[in-house]
Structure 1
Amino acid sequence: MISIAMPADNAPSFSDYQATRHFGSLNGLRFLCIAAVLWHHGPVWTSLENAPRIATRGFVGVDFFFVLSGFLITTLLMREASERGRFSLRGFYWRRFLRIIPVYFLVVTAVATYYIGVKGETQYLSQLPFYYLFLANFLTTDIPLLSPMWSLAVEEQYYLVWPLLLMILPPGWLIPVLGFLVLLNVVAVIGWLTPLGIAAFEAGPLRFAMFNTTYAPILLGSVVAILLHRPASFAVLARFLSSAPACLLSFGTILALLQWLPADLQGWPNLALHIAMAIALITIVIREDNALRPVLALRPIARVGEISYGVYLYHLIGLHIANVGLGAAGLATQNWVVLLIYTGISIVIADISFRTFERFFLNMKTKGWGRVRP
């Protein structure tokens, strides 16, 4: 049996938080996110009669990935600026390039070659350039197996703009600007900007519109990072969110919202869910001995979380392989078998990719532009 460690009664100190270089629970959180995505794209929940609403919402794993990404990127940039006087834009973009681009381009190129080159489905040629330009979130149709790439486009657009704003905006403006952008995202999704003449428009295979998740969760992750980076706001958050009950209650609240929020999450319901995710994230990074650490730090869970980016990129390929193989064996209708097999295939492919192809590029992070100099 796994025991849940109860944090000490005293609130965590700001200095301890600032000294933390590796947040031990985050790979476990990544595991939860990718597990939700794998469940969502698997065949089980769609076959359930009267499935509970929470079972239909595995897609929110992407939203939590966004919150986590906004937090980590902003935290790293602000800490570098605090320690060295400023952060290096060139170094930031180089490190993001090495982590994101090589394996992403590999998957896009391999899938496009298969469908366009091998199968001769040339109707996808018009969409292909926009995957390389990270505009997939505006495509009206997708190349098969590449539909999840919209979220990578959102992240890359965030990476392009947010560090620049962080560098040029006065510190006192950061939270107000982020708050304004989050609210702008919400009202755009609801359609409140349409009366002002701001509406979606199309250009070729692209449709430029603010859709459901978009940028709000990643911006809220940045808000969390800024609040925890400031001693005064850290002290307030530590007082209310560092206890074991707060940690467990925050994650329980997410589950409750997933079950009880209305069927249409667009707009304010989604914002409520994203805020709950931001609060839950605070409870597991504000102190290392949080209540969920014994579970989130389990080695198999942490390992899958560590390679979750690859699992996300490869999982529809894994699903395709599983469907073809199990179909040939007459097991394609065994939904739980499909879910388990495709999950295993996705993890194995991602692990091999991480140890070989991705590791080659990750080892370059501390060289050249990626090296942080005093």
Structure 2
Amino acid sequence: MHTLTHREYLAMRRFPALDGLRAVAALMVVFFHFGGTRWGFLSGWSGVHVFFVLSGFLITTLLLREQDRAGKISLRNFYLRRFFRIIPVYVITFAAVVAVFSLRGEYDASGLHAAMPYYLTFFNEFADPSAFIVSWSLGIEQKFYLFWPLLAFAVALGFRARLAVTVGTTALVLCLFPLVDGGWPVHYLVMLTGALLAVVLHHRRGFALLRPLTHPVAGTLVAVALVAGQVSIRFAVPWVGTEPPVIAAYGVLIALGLPALLGAGPVPWLLAQRPLAAIGDRSYALYLLQPLAGLMAGGVLAAPGTTRNALLVAAIALGMADLMYRVVEQPMIRLGRRLTAPPKPATTPPASPVEQDALTHAS
């Protein structure tokens, strides 16, 4: 057993354990929402912020590797891939939620009518609670995807400049904490934490600093630390007095844990197993389909706020997400790739679809 080298890291075309981590994060959200007080230790935000760290890390890694491979970043292609990755599933799920609650005569009572302008413009995080409030995170991610490539790749062209932009943007977001209500800057801070990790790992000297975390033993230690951190959130928030600083620290903990999941060891092996990987692949649709799955579970099991209810919601949402994944998500992702694929000489082998899968599946 050994630590990863920088060369090995750059040669990796998949990060299999991160699919499993995405699955764990999605299930955390479902069990917090539908499992009752027994699952309150999961916190309202923590599962989503695992997604945020992963998004910041994977998107930035994708862009860094594209720049190394092609010598530049195609923002047009990036935005097109993001569009086909996110928008079709979002629009279909949102339309289904609106249709179901309208047929139930609850369109206004569900809050959907009042929140419609926010959901149509991806300012979801500013909408009042409604039947589709789970989509608040999409508003955060869409704005991050829009502006981060411009800041980090259209303006900052080298490692030092990009590192300075990343640290400077992070510091700016930190300065917003006492100035705004609602705590929304912490979401961008957590995504920037993942982006900063990607920038550091991509550089040889930066990777050397974090290389000890890739040792197989580190995976087990990190897993213990993450569980302890997760359980501590509900106790730390009253002590600190507000949730955003606690979530910011949690995001740092998640980011420091990611290098431990890139190498060998029992924890990366477990997270890379097919059942968790399959859920991770479907986690985006699973997350958005929670409201509909909750309604369906309520019609079958009159036991809201229980572990059985959460299990049923997760099973229903996963079934619907699998259908969405096969019929909508994957075809749209492939279309986005076809539209952005450069013409290749006949002697050049096609790009590995596995590589593109690993580093574009970042929502």
Which residue, 198, 202, 213 being the options, matches 1:229? Answer: 202
Deviation by residue 1:93-147 (Cα, 9 ceiling, x = unmatched): 11111110001011112212333465263464342122121101112x1331x11
Q: Does the aligned pair in 1 maintain the 2:23–2:276 contact within 8 Å?
A: yes
1:325 aligns to 2:314 (yes or no): no
1:28 aligns to 2:15 (yes or no): no
Larger mean Cα displacement after TM superposition, 241-250 or 64-73: 241-250
Aligned match of 2:271: 296
Question: What SS class does the counterpart of residue 92 from structure 2 fall into?
Answer: helix
Aligned match of 2:349: none
TM-score by length of 1: 0.83
Q: Does the aligned pair in 2 maintain the 1:33–1:64 contact within 8 Å?
A: yes
Q: Of the two structures, which has the highest relative contact order with CA contacts closer than 8 Å and spacing of 6 or more?
A: 2
1:210: how far off? 4.2
Letter in 1 for 2:270: V
Question: What SS class does the counterpart of residue 301 from structure 2 fall into?
Answer: helix
Aligned equivalents of 1:282, 1:334: Cα separation in 2: 35
Aligned match of 1:3: none
Letter in 1 for 2:35: P
Note the aligned Cα RMSD (angstroms): 2.2
1:352: how far off? 1.0
Question: What SS class does the counterpart of residue 16 from structure 2 fall into?
Answer: coil
1:340: how far off? 1.6
Which residue, 153, 156, 164 being the options, matches 1:169? Answer: 156
Letter in 2 for 1:226: V
Q: Does the aligned pair in 2 maintain the 1:310–1:350 contact within 8 Å?
A: yes
Aligned match of 1:72: 58
Q: Does the aligned pair in 2 maintain the 1:98–1:365 contact within 8 Å?
A: yes
Aligned match of 2:29: 37
Correspondence list, 1:278-357, <5 A: 278-285=255-262, 287=263, 289-327=264-302, 332=303, 335-357=306-328
Gaps spanning 5+ residues in structure 1: where? 1-7, 194-198, 201-208
Larger mean Cα displacement after TM superposition, 177-186 or 11-20: 177-186
Aligned equivalents of 1:62, 1:336: Cα separation in 2: 20
Deviation by residue 1:30-81 (Cα, 9 ceiling, x = unmatched): 111111111111133x2x4xx7x7x242630110100001111000111111
Q: Does the aligned pair in 2 maintain the 1:188–1:210 contact within 8 Å?
A: no
Q: Does the aligned pair in 1 maintain the 2:52–2:187 contact within 8 Å?
A: no
Identity of aligned residues (%): 29
Larger mean Cα displacement after TM superposition, 256-265 or 126-135: 256-265
Aligned equivalents of 2:331, 2:164: Cα separation in 1: 40
1:371 aligns to 2:346 (yes or no): no
Aligned match of 2:237: 263
Aligned equivalents of 1:237, 1:16: Cα separation in 2: 14
TM-score by length of 2: 0.86
CA 1:12/1:57 → structure 2, altered by over 3 Å: closer, same or farther? same
Gaps spanning 5+ residues in structure 2: where? 345-363
Q: Does the aligned pair in 1 maintain the 2:67–2:73 contact within 8 Å?
A: yes
1:174: how far off? 2.3
Aligned match of 2:95: 109
1:143 aligns to 2:114 (yes or no): no
Q: Does the aligned pair in 1 maintain the 2:23–2:283 contact within 8 Å?
A: yes
1:242: how far off? 1.5
1:364: how far off? 0.6
Aligned equivalents of 1:279, 1:73: Cα separation in 2: 17
Larger mean Cα displacement after TM superposition, 346-355 or 172-181: 172-181
Correspondence list, 1:53-68, <5 A: 55-57=41-43, 59-68=45-54
1:25: how far off? 1.0
1:233: how far off? 0.9
CA 1:115/1:281 → structure 2, altered by over 3 Å: closer, same or farther? same
Residues paired across the two proteins, number: 335
CA 1:280/1:266 → structure 2, altered by over 3 Å: closer, same or farther? same
CA 1:212/1:82 → structure 2, altered by over 3 Å: closer, same or farther? closer
1:333: how far off? 5.2
Q: Does the aligned pair in 2 maintain the 1:186–1:268 contact within 8 Å?
A: no
1:216 aligns to 2:216 (yes or no): no
Aligned equivalents of 1:19, 1:129: Cα separation in 2: 44
CA 1:129/1:36 → structure 2, altered by over 3 Å: closer, same or farther? same
Deviation by residue 1:257-279 (Cα, 9 ceiling, x = unmatched): 22334134534322221111001
Deviation by residue 1:127-178 (Cα, 9 ceiling, x = unmatched): 2122121101112x1331x111110110000000001112212431322332
Question: What SS class does the counterpart of residue 96 from structure 1 fall into?
Answer: helix
Letter in 1 for 2:8: D
